[in-house]
């Protein structure tokens, strides 16, 4: 079948995979389209031939998702869709191809006095991959969600058409909000080929502050105080070497930062300390290379942070909480694989959202990494069935093994 894709993208852009499988499902070949039209043509071809595709960007979150139910996969690598971004600082928007690395976009935006609010902890992450996977980052709050930064998308659909949704303006209620539907859909509804997003002013100053606590019970009240004071753009509670370090970042003018620090004092620390939070997040997306703990993400309300952490810590012999993002109620833990199904079931019973970000391919054969299917499973399947009736896009990898 490789020859068929060669007719679309050229023989030079169909190659053998660097890794032979994805979660144990063989990857037959890697197809590298050079533009959005070729992406759409690849989808049309795959739909006609019943070939299962798995879109990929930088591969930085390659392991996220369930094991595909396909017998084999063709990897649709969007890395060639990386032309320079169109950054318009006057309008405060940028449009870029899906395969563009986030750091390239950010660097260009910074040159023009702007920044993005995209989580950038995963090395090599691309714009399209980030939109599809909707990752979290330490600078995350209910105000700063990736999906709120998106203005428009170009998406290739399984019927072979290239479509647009949203727009290139900062306010828009024209038709159904498909942008939000595609965001976080893990490439199961369409393949994102271009993204238009909001740009933000670069803050004049930025400061990372820290306090060290003996226990999570003493650390989290400060996190609540931070949230109420409203000054932190992100916060992380990091377990390391027997200590709990609460780090938070403030942005603004010098006088504002001084005022915030007066209200909630902390020790100023180096940016590298903040990067440690991102490093823990990035671990969850690293490929599985052998025995080791799985990575579990559990999410609830901000006030759930302590109960989630406590519930995980109570299984101390098999489960180690590593990091919490208290402003959004998220806790990351390393979990021994044997205990993972039990812990996932227990936390799901408590009503928390969860995702096993990293585990062995063997475990994925029996474990739904997103936990029990949600109550709206039928609706999710109805949506998938209409967008991708032949089930060619990442079949089985999404929530409820959709």
Which helix (H) or strand (E) segment holds residue 262: the answer is: helix 254-263
> Helices H, strands E: what count in the chain?
13, 20
- Which residue, 27 or 53, has its beta carbon nearer to other proteins? 53
Q: How far apart are CA 343 and CA 271, in angstroms?
A: 34
Phi-psi region of 353 (alpha: psi -120 to 50; beta: other; left: phi over 0): beta
Angle at CA of residue 67, ends 375 and 371, nearest 5°: 30
DSSP state letter for 393? B
- Which residue, 30 or 96, has its beta carbon nearer to other proteins? 96
Q: Which residues pair with 198 in a beta bridge?
A: 93
Angle between helices 2-9 and 36-49 (to 10 degrees): 160
Q: How far is the CB of 82 from other proteins (least distance, A)?
A: 24
- Which residue, 23 or 388, has its beta carbon nearer to other proteins? 388
- Which residue, 205 or 243, has its beta carbon nearer to other proteins? 205
DSSP, collapsed to helix, strand or coil, labels residue 256 as: helix
Q: How far is the CB of 144 from other proteins (least distance, A)?
A: 10
The answer to whether 181 and 132 are in contact (CB under 8 A) is: no
Angle between helices 305-313 and 216-229 (to 10 degrees): 160
- Which residue, 15 or 112, has its beta carbon nearer to other proteins? 112
Q: How far is the CB of 27 from other proteins (least distance, A)?
A: 25
For 150, the token pair is 């998106």
Residues 104, 110, 115, 120: is their CA dihedral positive or negative?
positive
- Which residue, 134 or 357, has its beta carbon nearer to other proteins? 134
Q: How far is the CB of 26 from other proteins (least distance, A)?
A: 27
Q: How many CB atoms lie within 10 A of CB 12?
A: 9
Q: How far is the CB of 369 from other proteins (least distance, A)?
A: 12
Q: How far is the CB of 105 from other proteins (least distance, A)?
A: 19
Q: How far apart are CA 311 and CA 323, in angstroms?
A: 14
DSSP, collapsed to helix, strand or coil, labels residue 52 as: coil
Q: How far is the CB of 216 from other proteins (least distance, A)?
A: 17
- Which residue, 155 or 294, has its beta carbon nearer to other proteins? 155
Q: How far is the CB of 370 from other proteins (least distance, A)?
A: 7
- Which residue, 19 or 253, has its beta carbon nearer to other proteins? 253
DSSP assignment string, 59-77: STTTT-SPPPSSSSEEEEE
- Which residue, 204 or 362, has its beta carbon nearer to other proteins? 204
Which helix (H) or strand (E) segment holds residue 363: the answer is: helix 361-364
Of 29, 25, 26, give the one whose Cα is nearest residue 2.
29
Q: How far is the CB of 187 from other proteins (least distance, A)?
A: 12
DSSP, collapsed to helix, strand or coil, labels residue 184 as: coil
- Which residue, 26 or 113, has its beta carbon nearer to other proteins? 113
């Amino acid at each position: 079948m490789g020859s068929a894709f060669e007719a679309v993208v050229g023989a030079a852009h169909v190659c053998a995979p660097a890794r032979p499988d994805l979660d144990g499902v063989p990857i037959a070949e890697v197809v590298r389209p050079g533009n959005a039209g070729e992406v759409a043509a690849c989808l049309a071809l795959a739909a006609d031939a019943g070939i299962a595709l798995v879109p990929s960007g930088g591969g930085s979150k390659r392991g996220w998702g369930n094991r595909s139910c396909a017998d084999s996969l063709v990897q649709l690598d969007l890395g060639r869709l990386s032309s320079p971004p169109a950054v318009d600082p006057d309008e405060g928007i940028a449009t870029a191809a899906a395969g563009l690395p986030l750091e390239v976009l950010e660097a260009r935006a910074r040159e023009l006095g702007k920044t993005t609010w995209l989580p950038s902890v995963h090395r090599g992450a691309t714009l399209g991959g980030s939109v599809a996977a909707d990752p979290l980052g330490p600078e995350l709050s209910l105000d700063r969600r990736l999906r709120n930064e998106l203005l428009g998308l170009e998406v290739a659909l399984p019927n072979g058409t290239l479509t647009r949704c949203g727009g290139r303006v900062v306010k828009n209620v024209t038709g159904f909000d498909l942008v939000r539907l595609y965001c976080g859909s893990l490439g199961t509804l369409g393949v994102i080929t271009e993204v238009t997003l909001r740009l933000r002013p670069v803050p004049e100053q930025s400061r990372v502050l820290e306090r060290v606590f003996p226990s999570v019970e003493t650390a989290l009240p400060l996190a609540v105080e931070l949230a109420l004071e409203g000054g932190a753009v992100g916060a992380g509670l990091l377990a390391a070497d027997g200590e709990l370090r609460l780090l938070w970042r403030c942005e603004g003018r010098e006088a504002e930062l001084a005022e915030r620090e007066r209200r909630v004092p902390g020790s100023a620390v180096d940016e590298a300390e903040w990067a440690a939070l991102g490093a823990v997040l990035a671990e969850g997306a690293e490929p599985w290379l052998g025995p080791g703990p799985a990575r579990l993400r559990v999410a609830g309300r901000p006030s759930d942070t302590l109960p989630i952490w406590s519930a995980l810590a109570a299984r101390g012999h098999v489960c180690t909480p590593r990091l919490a993002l208290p402003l959004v109620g998220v806790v990351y833990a390393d979990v021994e694989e044997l205990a993972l199904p039990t812990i996932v079931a227990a936390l799901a019973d408590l009503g928390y959202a969860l995702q096993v970000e990293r585990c062995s391919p063997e475990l994925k054969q029996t474990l739904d990494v997103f936990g029990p299917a949600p109550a709206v499973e039928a609706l999710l399947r109805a949506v998938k069935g209409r967008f991708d009736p032949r089930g060619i896009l990442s079949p089985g990898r999404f929530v409820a093994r959709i």
